[in-house]
Amino acid sequence: MALKFLTQKIAQAIDEELFSSGGFSVDQLMELAGLSVAQAITKVYDNSKYSRVLICCGPGNNGGDGLVAARHLFHFGYKPNIFYPKQSKKELYERLVIQCQSLEIPIVTELSNSSLTNDNDLIVDALFGFSFTGEIRPPFDEVIQKLKVTNIPPIVSVDIPSGWDVEKGNVNNHGLKPSMLISLTAPKLCANYFNGKHFLGGRFIPPGLKEKYELNLPLYPGTDQVVDITDLPSEKL
Amino acid sequence: MALKFLTQKIAQAIDEELFSSGGFSVDQLMELAGLSVAQAITKVYDNSKYSRVLICCGPGNNGGDGLVAARHLFHFGYKPNIFYPKQSKKELYERLVIQCQSLEIPIVTELSNSSLTNDNDLIVDALFGFSFTGEIRPPFDEVIQKLKVTNIPPIVSVDIPSGWDVEKGNVNNHGLKPSMLISLTAPKLCANYFNGKHFLGGRFIPPGLKEKYELNLPLYPGTDQVVDITDLPSEKL
């Protein structure tokens, strides 16, 4: 049974069920999502070589996952920096920022081209997730342009590569070209067009949801919150 | 520098700071605490031999950690059962129960002596934590009596062994005799009187708090949320 890749609509339906009938809070699932992102990074990018990690956070949940990942990366021995230009006024996000500030993780709202290339060993793209639709608005249009230039460090995308259509992939080459993707809960259809290192996070889906949506999720090893699905056979929904 | 063991007062002060200046929510820290409990259990009690785990949950935060641990133990391949006689009406706890129910983890409110011995390979004591004071009230007085009988499976205590004085240990032999203890954030003074397998969980303490309270916490390995401190030198506060 091949792993199922999700349409945007199904991904949203699963997300809603986790919060309604599943009883989860955003705090909880964001904590586990961010932890899985940080853990996947440790498996590919060792902190001795990729110490300086710039986490680029968008205005929504994907950005929140990035803020949580930054905190765990700090505890895993990395030196995270956060770029967070449009900061949410929601209480949860304000607390996630405080948590990073208490670790003295620098948070900036502007990206300079030179520092992007010279001051970072790795970039985490936590700009947009599976719920993204429409046009990319300022300042993120410019951010994505900057992140698309060559000679930047490898990019790790959270859930979907930012700028990609959730289902159709990197339409018109508008999006980033990450080296690694961490799909959350289940991969979205756009991941069919991704060829790099691919991890799955979200070890919290109840069996009932797995069956209802025929997710055919792989087994997670040990107590890991992520599983390497780079070479796993997949099936479009 | 030896690991510091905490008085009840200092443990409460650190806890309060994590929620106030640290910006954490109970949801977040309980998620990480419960995950660390489940992870520590996998390191000592393999799910092939210790599959059936009874998680005994008290009325407060320690019980909440137990509910989270039960969920992660399920995802780690164990068969958890929950004993939760005094269920909190707080929204978070009601959601933690729903999360376990969606995994079809049985939740009971009565303990029978025979099933305690025959139906379980491991017991998790998530009855009382570091904030416990005073007398143990019904039904927990009887529960602790039942858990003290011989021939029961090994007991893993969360934060402190239930029935123990947080600072003075197992006064008058009133408490449980666990085989394993998972201290959260930092060990409490009573852990000086504990001789079994000892883990520390709580990989989220900011450096400022570690310094302020001179915790001398050990390094956590890899991406683990727990560290084995069984043989670590310690120092009373």
ipTM: 0.96
Give pLDDT, residue B152: 86
Distance from CA of B120 to the nearest CA of A (A): 22
In A20-155, which ranges are continuous DSSP H helix? 26-44, 61-75, 91-101, 113-118, 140-148
- B94 belongs to an annotated ligand binding site: no
Query: How many separate domains does chain A show?
Result: 1
Cβ distance B27 to A27 less than 8 Å, yes or no, reads: yes
Domain limits for position A172: 3-235
| CATH number of the domain enclosing B117 | 3.40.50.10260
Number of A–B residue contacts, CB under 8 Å: 79
Contacts of B31 in chain A (CB under 8 A): 27-28, 31-32
What is the residue-wise DSSP string for chain B? -PEEEBPHHHHHHHHHHHHTTT---HHHHHHHHHHHHHHHHHHHS-TTTS-EEEEEE-SSHHHHHHHHHHHHHHHTT-EEEEE-SS---SHHHHHHHHHHHTTT--EES---HHHHHHS-SEEEEES--TT--SPPPTTHHHHHHHHHSTTPPPEEEESS-TTSBTTTBSGGG-S---SEEEEESS-BGGGGG--SEEEEE-TT--HHHHHHTT--PPPPPTT-SEEE-TT--EEE-
Residues of chain A with C-beta less than 8 angstroms from the C-beta of B32: 31
A225 in Cβ contact with A182 (< 8 Å): no
- What is the Cα Rg of chain B in Å? 16
Q: What is the pLDDT of residue A52?
A: 97
Give A206's contacts in chain B (Cβ within 8 Å): 102-103
Q: Which of B206, B204, B156, B149 is nearest to B181 (CA)?
A: B156
Is B14 an 8 Å CB contact of chain A? no
Tell me the chain B residues in contact with residue A207 when contact means C-beta distances shorter than 8 Å.
Answer: 103-104
Q: B39 to chain A, minimum CA–CA distance in Å?
A: 6
CB contact under 8 A, B25 and A27: yes
pLDDT tens by residue, chain B, 237 residues: 789 999 999 999 999 999 999 999 999 999 999 999 999 999 999 999 999 999 999 999 999 999 999 999 999 999 999 999 999 999 999 999 999 999 999 999 998 877 788 899 999 999 999 999 888 999 999 999 999 987 789 999 999 999 999 999 999 999 999 999 999 999 999 999 999 999 999 999 999 999 999 999 999 999 999 999 999 877 654
Ligand-binding site membership of B179 (annotated): no
Is A24 marked as a binding-site residue? no
Question: Which residues from chain B sit within 8 angstroms of residue A104, using beta carbons?
Answer: 207
pLDDT at A151: 74
Bridge partners (DSSP) listed for residue B180: B156, B197
Q: Do the chains contact at B92 and A38, CB–CB below 8 Å? A: no
* Structure confidence by residue, pLDDT tens digits, B63-121: 999 999 999 999 999 999 999 999 999 999 999 999 999 999 999 999 887 778 889 99
Peptide bond into A138 cis (omega under 30): no
User: Does the annotation list B231 as a binding residue?
Assistant: no
Instruction: With cut-offs at 50, 70 and 90, classify the pLDDT of residue A124.
Output: very high
Question: Given CB atoms, is A75 within the 8 Å cutoff of chain B?
Answer: yes
- How many angstroms away from the CA of B200 is the closest CA of chain A? 15
B223 vs A42, A71, A207: nearest CB = A42
